[in-house]
Amino acid sequence: MVFDSTLLLLSFLIPLFGGFTLLGFRNLSPSIIRLVALTCFTVPLLIAVWMYFMFVDAPITDGYRFYTEMDTGLGDFGIFLTLGLNGVSLPLFFLAGLVGLAAGIQALHSDAGRRQLYLSLLLIMQGGLMGTFASIDVFFFYFFHELALIPTFVMIGIWGGFGRRSAAIEMTIYLTLGALISLLGLLLLYTSAGDISFNLITIREYLASQPLSETLSNNIFGLLLFGFGILVSLFPFHSWAPRGYAAAPTAAAMLHAGVLKKFGLYGLIQIAYPLLPQGAAHWGPLLLWLALGNVVVIGLITMAQRDLKQMVGYSSVMHMGYCFLGLVTFDAIGIGGAVMLMFGHGLSVALLFLLSTAVFHRTQTYDMKEMGGLASRTPILAGMFVAATFASIGLPGFANFWGEFAIFVSLWNYEPWVLVPAAAGIVISAIYGLRAVAWIFFGAPSEALKEHWKENKPFDLRQGERLSATLLFSGLLIVGFFPRIFSDYINLDVSTIFATDPAMVDNVSTEGAVGELSELYEVIPEPDHIQAEVSR
């Protein structure tokens, strides 16, 4: 068990180490760079896979497995490096490893200049991502997030596309603002939990015995909601996303949209919702409307986009709306669905960004109306792109479907009419997704494009791109066909934390859910009980 916990530690230390190595030593030979980068990207994924298989039998401490605690010198403030995984963080940890490797491979095969610096920044970002999902201590949770966020600023600023300077500044300031607001919330939480410790488990136990007053709970939750919401591009705080992603270099976009964006939702699920149920109930209606805005308004705006990367960026914002809707319902089905959707969406949006760049390399433009006829010339690329599009619009057989479907089911229980605009999203996403595919791949290429292709023949997916794409695609397919790979574990934790209100038909008020929650801090699962359930 100590081995497993050490592995957790290594999962973010190794990329960080690799990143700083590449940063520190100047002018390393390309093969060494390759070696370091490849190792440091692959190891986290391998660790994640190992963790997955070890998860079932691992002993549970306060609801977390592979629990370990280390003092980094900040012990006086109650800050310890506490690591562990539970059912909610496991899929996201895995996601970070997978997308990280795919992004790393893409970066290695890209034609970015100053590759050493680029790879080192990516590695630092990867380390931060792995650490975020592995940490139980709230302080380190925030720390790793910032660690992962800062490299994006540099990457977009230097290696980005058109309009990168202003996009980088806008995105970083906006996101740091969001992080700042959430930090305020987290600090307030710390002080309200007796100033003892940043450890999530300790805070949870403290609040179970001395619950917060309602106003305090509302305020903290509000801060956390808007802080994390900005990070996840909640409507109307979404403007950074399309511009930022359009200007970002591919690997950065993949990692950011695929993994870093989920940080806010993860924070809400792990920290805000279980600890502040009254706050959640209070802010629920507002969040509902904002999330619907995400789905419907942003969905419609996505339909108006002609630029491929902007469209993908806006569509990613739209799908976050679904996750928020799942959170609003505040029950196991919705939140479990949200986690599944986070996993699936991370993979599909990373794949879409990867393929968008691939398309760009063959057409030298991001304007979709200028493209056409790629399908017959680059069939594999076309096939992957169509698959990625269908995955992101929620076709069964890919991982996103399970999350979306579960969210829909839970929405009806919460408030039936909400399902109508939410489900309308599936039509909207089909419209813009398929339209993009038709513009890019079907039909006849435009004149300008034909001219361009006379000198540079479009080539199908190359080795590096193919490997990355296959990694992501197989993840989508496997979880699409066997959702229980992750849903069992998600279900384990989510069912105990958030109970479904047993009243079946309409008019379920969230007060009912709140009432139950105050009992459940004692219902942290006993090891034997869970072991018996999970034995397969």
Partner 1 sequence: MILILVSPLISAGVIALFFRDSGGIASAISVAASACILVFSIILLMHAPETTYSASIEWFAVGDFTLSLGFLLNGHTALLLFVVSFVGFWIHLFSVGYMDDDKAKGRFFGGLSIFMFSMLGIVLADNLAMIFIFWELVGFSSYMLIAHYCDTDEAASASKKAFIVNRVGDFGFLIGIVWCFWHFGTLDLKEMSWAVSMDPSLAITGLGLLLICGFLGKSAQFPLHVWLPDAMAGPTPISALIHAATMVAAGIFLLVRIDFLLTPFVLDWIAWTGAGMAFFAGLIALGQNDIKKILAYSTLSQLGYMAAAVGIGLPGLGLFHLTTHAFFKALLFLCSGSIIHACHHEQDIFKMGGLLRKMPVTSLAFLAGMLALMGANYTAGYWSKEAIMTAALAIDPLVFWFLIGGAVLTALYMGRLFFIAFFGKPRSVNVEHCKESGPVMILPLIVLAILALVGGFYTFWPEVLSQSFIGEVNNVYHGEEFHSAHESLKIWGTVAWIAGLAIALLIYGVGTSKDRLDGWLPGLVLVFRRRLFIDDVYDFYVTKIQQRFVDILGFLDLFLISGVFVRGSAGIAGLLGVFTRSLHVGSIHGYVYWFLLGVVLFWAFSMGWI
Distance CA 195, CA 178 (A): 23
286 versus 427: smaller Cβ distance to partner 1: 427
Q: Please write down the HEC assignment for all residues of 139-191.
A: HHHHHHHHHHHHHHHHHHHHHCCCCHHHHHHHHHHHHHHHHHHHHHHHHHHHH
CB of 448 to partner 1, least distance (A): 17
396 versus 515: smaller Cβ distance to partner 1: 396
- Record the tokens describing residue 8, joined without a space: 């957790």
Which residues, in sequence order, are CB contacts of 101 under 8 Å at separation 6+? Answer: 41, 42, 44, 45, 471
366 versus 412: smaller Cβ distance to partner 1: 412
DSSP string for 394-457: T-TTSHHHHHHHHHHHHHHHH-GGGHHHHHHHHHHHHHHHHHHHHHHHSSPPPHHHHHHHHHS-
Cα Dmax for the chain: 73
Amino acid identity, residue 353? F
120 versus 302: smaller Cβ distance to partner 1: 302
Distance CA 90, CA 183 (A): 24
Run of H or E including 297: none
CB of 89 to partner 1, least distance (A): 16
Of 495, 347, 492, 341, give the one whose Cα is nearest residue 422: 341
186 versus 399: smaller Cβ distance to partner 1: 399
Q: Are 189 and 275 in contact (CB under 8 A)?
A: yes
264 versus 373: smaller Cβ distance to partner 1: 373
Backbone angles phi, psi at 526, to 5 degrees: -80, 140
Helix (H, G, I), strand (E, B), or coil: what is residue 57? Answer: coil
CB of 332 to partner 1, least distance (A): 3
4 versus 465: smaller Cβ distance to partner 1: 465
75 versus 443: smaller Cβ distance to partner 1: 443
CB of 388 to partner 1, least distance (A): 13
CB of 379 to partner 1, least distance (A): 7
Distance of CA 290 to the CA centre of its chain: 19
CB of 26 to partner 1, least distance (A): 36
Helices 2-24, 89-109: inter-axial angle, 10-degree rounding: 30
CB of 402 to partner 1, least distance (A): 5
* Strand 60-61 relative to strand 81-85, pairing: unpaired
The neighbouring-strand residues paired with 81 are: 70
CA torsion, ordered 493, 496, 500, 501, to nearest 10 deg: -160
CB of 298 to partner 1, least distance (A): 8
Other CB atoms within 10 Å distance of the CB of residue 72? 11
CB of 300 to partner 1, least distance (A): 5
4 versus 493: smaller Cβ distance to partner 1: 493
23 versus 431: smaller Cβ distance to partner 1: 431
CB of 440 to partner 1, least distance (A): 10
